[in-house]
Amino acid sequence: MRQAVTTAVRRVELSDIREPGDPGPGEALLEIAAVGICGSDIGMWAATDPYAAFPIRQGHEFSARIAALGAGYQGPLRVGQLCAVEPLLPDHTCIACRRGHPNCCRNLRVYGAHLDGALTERLIVPVENLFPADDLTPELAAFVEPISIGLQMVTRSGLAAGDQAVIFGAGPIGQAVQVAAADRGARLLSVDVVPGRLDRALANGAELAVNSRADDPAARIAAWTDGDGPAVVFEATGVGAVFRTAIDVVAHSGTVVVAGTSNDDVPIPSLTLVRKEMNLLGSRNNAGVFGQAVDVVRRYRERCESLITQRYTLDRVPEAMAFGEANPASANKMMVLIGR
Ligand SMILES: [Zn+2]
């Protein structure tokens, strides 16, 4: 079978490998259907992402059809079913896992980051990672994973209906947060530096979109909230200076949720942290909300479809990565379609 492997910085090579064989007990053999390429994939390929290490077969946002179930399987899954696949393999034993947070397991392995991912034709995964999504298209089922990232951020934030929230970053993760936050009935302001992304944020229901290259986001946010500041700020850029702005603009008693990753150290003003009694939260992967993310995609089907902007085949993955880096405005969610 074919695979696309990132072998070095900005280099994806196509190769033939052996079939994965038969699934063991508790496992399923999957026929990969669709694989999303996200900002972190481009970052890994370009080696700007802190998690980058080569060689790696990328692909952590994916859907697949079940080709076979391991011997002795008894449960609701059946061969042929289309599933959204949660790409996380926690160790189930560390302190985070024992406390119910396998998403930030100390020894977490993620398909496409630490383990060879889905940019291939077939893959074996544990059955507990499969979420049936027969009523979705393969592309929408692959879109569940980025939505789960946004949903985890919103779940962490405690966002309530009517709250005003600011999203820094209107790329794929910022857009996923926007869908999940809209589902909670929040009012949204989006900040980015790419005009095309801001247009997309407005089209998807943001009340205001601010270009931080042309405008002062702090002043616009203050005006939008009548000087109160937003109840919640989502940081989805990974830019240190933006993290600092998030802390400065959030309301007293408010919450900052950070999902953007970078190697920047950001000085945090402890006086502001205390005076505002701010909640400052990291957010990583998702903790038990993957099934809810399938439902969010079902409810926001058309909007999710509008966020899928390009489609490729497996042999065009090198082209897709280069296009994504060069075209941040038009490349929101690129999908690699595999097999039938
Ligand atoms: Zn663990």
Structural domain spans, the chain: 2-142+300-337, 148-282
Locate tokens 């701010």: which residue? 278
Distance from Cα 290 to the centre of ligand 1, integer Å? 18
Tens-digit pLDDT profile for residues 24-40: 999 999 999 999 998 88
Question: Could you tell me the distance, in angstroms and rounded to a whole number, from the CA of residue 275 to the centre of ligand 1?
Answer: 34
| Intervals of the chain under pLDDT 50 | none
* Ligand 1 center–CA 97 separation, angstroms: 4
CA distance 281 to 274: 14
Cα of 93 to ligand 1 centre, how many Å? 5
How far is C-alpha 130 from the chain's CA centre?
Answer: 17
Q: What is the pLDDT of residue 264?
A: 79
Give domain 2-142+300-337's CATH number out of 3.90.180.10, 3.20.20.450, 3.20.20.140, 3.40.50.150.
3.90.180.10
Q: Are 271 and 295 in contact, with CB atoms under 8 Å apart? A: no
Q: 284 C-alpha to center of ligand 1: Å?
A: 13
For residue 91, report the distance from its CA to the centre of ligand 1, in Å: 4
pTM for this model (two decimals): 0.94
Q: How far is the CA of 103 from the centre of ligand 1 (A)?
A: 8
Rounded CA separation 145/163 (Å): 25
Q: How far away, in angstroms, is 202 Cα from ligand 1 center?
A: 39
pLDDT, tens digit, for every residue of 250-298? Answer: 999 999 999 987 777 888 999 999 999 999 999 999 999 999 999 999 9
Give the Å distance between the CA of 15 and the centre of ligand 1.
33
Distance 89 CA to ligand 1 centre (A): 9
Here the tokens at position 340 are 């039938």
Q: Identify any residues that bridge with 255 across adjacent strands, giving them in sequence order.
A: 232, 279
Would you state the pLDDT for residue 263? 77
Of 86, 103, 102, the C-alpha closest to 145 is 86
Report the pLDDT value the prediction gives residue 305, as an integer from 0 to 100. 95
Query: Cα(285) to centroid of ligand 1, in Å?
Result: 13
Please give the pLDDT value at position 340: 56
Beta strands of the chain (E only): which ranges?
2-8, 11-16, 27-37, 61-69, 82-85, 88-89, 109-110, 122-126, 130-132, 164-168, 187-192, 208-211, 232-235, 255-258, 279-282, 308-313, 333-337
Q: How far is the CA of 299 from the centre of ligand 1 (A)?
A: 32
- Residue 197 sits at φ, ψ, to 5 deg, of -70, -35
Domain range 148-282, CATH architecture: 3-Layer(aba) Sandwich (3.40)
Pairing of strands 82-85, 130-132: antiparallel
| 149 CA → ligand 1 middle, Å | 19
**pLDDT the model gives residue 25:** 97
Distance between Cα 125 and ligand 1 center (Å): 18
Token couple for 187:
């009012």
